[in-house]
Structure formats: structure tokens, C-alpha cells
Structure 1
Amino acid sequence: MTATAAPRERSARRLFDPKLLFGVLVVGALLVASLFTGVYDVVGADDGAEMFAITRIPRTIALVLAGAAMAMSGLIMQLLTQNRFVEPTTTGTTEWAGLGLLAVMMLVPNASIMARMGGAILAAFIGTMVFFLFLRRVTLRSSLIVPIIGIMLGAVVGSVSTFLALQTDMLQSLGIWFAGSFTSVLRGQYEFLWIVAVVGAAVFVVADRFTIAGLGEEIATGVGVNYNRVVLLGTGLIAIATGVVTVVVGNLPFLGLIVPNIVSMVRGDDLRSNLPWVCLLGIAIVVVCDLVGRTIIMPFEVPVSLILGIVGAVVFIALLLRQRRRG
């Protein structure tokens, strides 16, 4: 039996959970609500069917893909760092993606969306690797310090982006990119998000290696797993997901923090069996926040990042206090 065979067998038994069907039904109901929530009457208007296809369906698909991608990225990052408090927005990955996007737009003002995504992904990869290398070289006694360092690094990168945006009159564009809103998601603009579905499939295939790597470099090496290669692969997948979501949707703060923690508290740390639950919960939270944003001051909308930031910050503080009580 190989090093990953036993975890895979246990994961397969836990993966087929009858409760998962209930979760799918709940998320399905939320998605139906998303399809029919909005100012425009897609049922009674003459061009309602056309607007439904142009706006509501793309927006709902974008909610699914973006929510699942960012929740999944947080889960991978927490496993690889062995820290419950890290995710793309607490490690600076999102800020690095924004810097890469800004750099491409400065160098090539009429750059295609693929070129912008390429810049965001490359910068996110570099930034995440910088964070991982920093953690490997510096011994930190408290796990609470890790996200603080990540937030500080992200603040520095964000300041650089703001300075460059001011120098090039692109500050408004930078604010729009980081708004984290699904308002402008239309048919023809969201399709690149399907890339993160491929990322999700890749994560599921190599899930057992991520789980073993999460036990530490010594244990992973002892059972025959190339730890550095797994970290490199995980960093690449996180960068792709974060870069694509940042370019198409914007910043979704704390989603990758709160979802894996909730799932892990209930089900443990096995990535393969937890992945469907992480994706479902990530989708559910994003959809609920988006529905609140669409209805709270209708006919206007509140960016989903604002509501998600409030919810995420509250959960983040609760997790910090819980960790402190446990010592």
C-alpha cells in the first residue's frame, strides 16, 4: 500500500456522506433565489428571458465558481502552513494579484483579459512564495503572529499599488478592481472563471498529498512525498484561483479563512472528504452575502466584499479569541 493509499481509502468512505445531499439542496435553493432576485423583472418583462440569460445566469455561475475557488484556496493554504489563520487576504496574495494586474495595465493599457490574468497570477504566485519562504526562515512561537505578518506584507504591497495608481491616474480603476462585486458580471465577461473549476479538479486529484504535506515536512518526506514539490504545486493553484477571481470579480475577504475553519471544526482535517463541504459552504456564504447586498438598499447594491468583510472580521476575531483561550 502506498503512502497515499490509506488516506484515500478513508476519504472515500467519508466522502459519500448522506448529509452532503442536504447541503447540495440548500445551496441549490440559494442559487434559485439568486437567479430571481433583482430590480429587473425577468419574469414579466418582454425581454425578461434575454436579460435572465445575459445577467442572472452568468452572475449566479460566477458566485458558484468564485466562492468555491476562494474557500478552497484558503483550505490549501492552511494545510501547507499548518496555520488556521491564513488565507489569500491574510497573506498578501490578493494584494500581490492586484499589483500584478495594475502593472500589466500600466505597461499595456489595452491588454486583453488573459494578459491581465497572467500578470495577476504571476504576481500572486511570487507573493505567496515570498510569504512561505518567510515562514520557513523565521521561527514564530505563536500562530497568531503569522496572519499579522501576512496582513502587514499585504499592506505594504497595497501601498505600493496605491502609489503607482496615483502616479498613473488609475486609482479609481484600482478601487473598482478590489470592490469585490458581482454587479458587472455579464455574459461574455465571466467565462474565464471556469479556469478555477479546473483548479478545483486538480486539487481533488492531489488532495491526499496536500493532507500529508500538512503534517509537516519531516513526516511528508518520511512517507515518500516530495514536500517542496507539493508546496510549489499548491502555491501555483492558489495563485491561479486568486488571480482569476481578482481580475473577474475582485477581492472576497476572509472567505478562505472562515469556511475551512468551520468545516475543520466539524469534520477534521482530511482535505479530500472536506473539499465538497468547503466548496458548498463557500458558495452558500457568497450567495447569501450577495443576496443581502442586492436587497438591503434596493434598487442600489452593496458590494459583496463589504458584507463578507464584516462577517469575516467577526469570525476572525472569534477564532483568535478561541485560540487564545486554548493557549
Structure 2
Amino acid sequence: MAENKTINKNIILILFILLTIISFFISVGNGAVKISPINILKAIFCEKDTVNHQIIWNVRLPRTIVAGLVGICLSLSGAILQGIMRNPLASPNIIGVSSGAGLAAFIILILLPEYYYMVPIGAFIGALLTTLVIYSLAWKEGVTPTRLILAGVAISSILRAGINALITFYPDRVAGVVGFMVGGLSATAWTEVKMIFPYALIGVTSVLLIPNKLNILMLGDEIATGLGLKVESTRFIFIILASLLAGSAVSAVGLLGFVGLIVPHIARLLIGSDYRFLFPASIFLGASVVILCDTLARLLFAPMEIPVGIIMSALGGPFFLYLLRRKEGVR
């Protein structure tokens, strides 16, 4: 029986991988000039002097890669936060982690633009400090979902007030970062790929090495301690990883919401709560969702382009209300 369940989960993972591959070709192949999958492969690997190669290599490929990496980072961050806080409504944007990363990134982009390459590190520090503050405020002989959400909403409003204050005081400097507020991938180039990739690689690799620790942590603090797990230090490690992943995503795309809420929850419904499978499922499903939503944002009102954050909010808002109506905890 257990073997059959494992086979089924592996099949679902394979389907998620295929969805990611299909999403990649849909994103790279569609735009003002449509390019078939065969011609995409030729343009990338063989025909280096063609118009298709210039379009794909300089415009569509880096944007698609960044979209995929952002989806991976936000999805994993959401899965971690939902696990360590045992709350299906926990996600980087809902509890304010993205706002902390966004404020730190805004400070660098507006006040210290010459240090733009420090944005991922600044966003990580902002996300980490915000997560620790929210967790400490919600802690009172344990963390309850209600206190966690309320603390997150309160801290998020304070941080967004800081972002709005920067916009108000420095209106002449915000022209290039307005899209940052809703999350957008326009004008994405290889610079953004190089900026986010190292942090994403560290975060993703680290998370995939320790899924069993989160499985044990999900059993409750007393049982986890009885099984020999150092609960607080393990929880702190996961907080650091969730902050690193959320911060790197925010540094590349801005305050993109609901990815960390929707994707882990859908993956959990389809593949279960075993983080050995849930983490890989969140990786591939998260990449697919953001790539497809970004493609839709490019094509829906072509030639005008809308930020991908608008598409995600349109999908994420109703889904969030659905979760509230169900009032179910993480199983």
C-alpha cells in the first residue's frame, strides 16, 4: 500500500516536471514573433546568428528563467512557513515577510542606487528580521495561527508605510521601481538571472537536503524533542532558508503576492504533506505557475504588458478567501 502511494507521488512529480517543460516552451515561444519548440531549440543551441536567437537569448530566455526561479523561491518559502508555523495561510506576502524584503530593497534602490547589486542581500536581511519579529510577537507559550496572522498583518502594514514614505519623500527616484510594488518582470535581462541565481541555488539545495527535519517538526514540539530533534535551532534554520528564498525572489521581481500561498497548498492537496515530495512538487509547480502567469501578462493585452503581480493577485485573492472559508489546518 505504501509502495503504491510512493509510485503515485512519483507520477505526480513527473507530471509537474512535464508541466514545467511545457510552460518553458510556451513562454519562450510566444510573443510578437511566435517560435515553434523545434526552432527554439535550434535558436538556442545551433543557429546563433539568426533573429530568433536574438529574440530568445536576449529577451525571452532570461525573463523565463527569472520567472521560474522566482516561482521556485516563493513556493518553497511558503511551504516552509506553512510547515514551521503549522498554518495553511502562512506565506511570504500574507504574514509580511515579502514586505520586509521589499522595504530593504527599496531603501537600497532609492537611497543607495549605486549599490543595486546588494539588493538580494538587503532583501534577505529584511525578510529574516521581519520573520523573526513576527514569530517573536506571535509567541506566547507557543504560536497560534490567529496571533501569527495578526502579528504579520500588523508588521506588514508598518513596513508598507515605510515603503510609501520613501515613495512620498523621493518621488523623483521612484520611476524605475514603481513596478516593484506589484511585482513585474518587464525588462528582465541576464543581470537579474545572475543576481538571483546564486541565492536561489543555495536556498533550494539546502531545503532539499533536510525535508525529514520539517516532517518531524510537523509532529509537534514535544514529539519532535522526544525524537531527538533540536526544535528551536531547526526552526531557526528553516526561518533563515525561508527568508533567503523570499528575499532573493523579491529582489528580482518585487512584491509578487500569493505564489507562496497558492502553490504549496495545491501541491499538498495533490501529493500530501510529506516534505520529501512536497518540496520538489512546490519547485516544479511554482516555476510553472509564475512562468504561465507571466506569459499571460505579456499576451493578454498585447502589445501592452501588465505586471505579473496583477494576474497573481486576481488568482490568489479568491483562493485566499477559499482557504479562509475552509478553516482547515495543515494536515
Instruction: Tell me the percent identity.
Output: 23
Distance 1:273-1:166 versus aligned 2 partners, 3 A rule: same
- Cα deviation, 1:290-320, whole Å, max 9, x if unaligned, reads 1211111101111110010110111010111
Task: Compute the RMSD of aligned alpha carbons.
Answer: 2.6
Aligned to 1:295: 299
**What's the counterpart of residue 30 of structure 1?**
23
Secondary structure at the aligned position of 2:108 is classed as helix
Match of 2:188 in 1: 185
Question: Which residue identity is paired with 1:135?
Answer: A
1:214 is displaced (CA, Å) by: 2.3
What do residues 67-121 of structure 1 show as CA deviations (whole Å, max 9, x unaligned)? 11101100000000011101100111111111111233455331141x2222111
Structure 1 regions of 5+ residues with no counterpart? 1-8
Change (3 A) 1:261 1:171: same
- Separation in structure 2 between the aligned mates of residue 317 and residue 29 of structure 1, nearest angstrom: 30
The 3 A distance-change label for structure 1 pair 189 and 308 is same
Instruction: Give structure 2 stretches of 5+ with no counterpart.
Output: 44-48
The superposition leaves residues 248-268 of structure 1 with CA deviations (integer Å, 9 ceiling, x where unpaired) of 111221111111112222332
Listed as ranges, the matches of 1:17-166 within 5 Å are 17-40=10-33, 47-105=51-109, 107-113=111-117, 115-137=118-140, 143=145, 146-166=148-168
Using structure 1 for the length normalisation, give the TM-score. Answer: 0.87
Is the CA contact 2:110–2:174 (under 8 Å) kept in the aligned structure 1? no
Distance 2:175 2:116 in 1: 19
Q: Kindly state the Cα deviation for residue 144 of structure 1 after the two structures are TM-superposed.
A: 5.2
Q: 1:53 to 1:109 in 2, by over 3 A?
A: closer
Deviates more, 1:182-191 or 1:123-132: 182-191
Match of 1:4 in 2: none
Q: Is 2:217 aligned against 1:213?
A: yes
Contact 1:162 / 1:171 at 8 angstroms: preserved in 2?
A: no
What's the CA shift string for 1:176-231, capped at 9, x where partnerless? Answer: 32231111211233222212132111101011112212222222211111111112
Q: How many residues of Structure 1 are paired with residues of Structure 2 in the alignment?
A: 314
Amino acid at match of 1:253: G
User: How many Å apart are 1:135 and its aligned residue?
Assistant: 2.0
C-alpha separation in 1, matches of 2:139 and 2:157: 21
The answer as to 2:279 corresponding to 1:275 is yes
Q: Distance in 2 between matches of 1:41 and 1:188?
A: 25
- State the TM-score, normalized to the length of structure 2: 0.86
Q: 1:324 to 1:160 in 2, by over 3 A?
A: same
Counterpart AA for 1:305:
G
- The verdict on how the C-alpha distance between 1:188 and 1:107 changes in structure 2, with shifts beyond 3 A counting, is closer
Amino acid at match of 2:121: G
Deviations 1:18-50 (A, max 9, x none): 332232222211210101111246679953312
Q: Contact 1:85 / 1:146 at 8 angstroms: preserved in 2?
A: no
1:215 match: secondary structure: coil
The equivalent of 1:247 in structure 2 is 251
**C-alpha spacing 1:321/1:105, structure 2 compared with 1 (3 Å):** same
Instruction: Give the CA deviation at 1:145.
Output: 5.8
Q: Which amino acid aligns with 1:118?
A: I
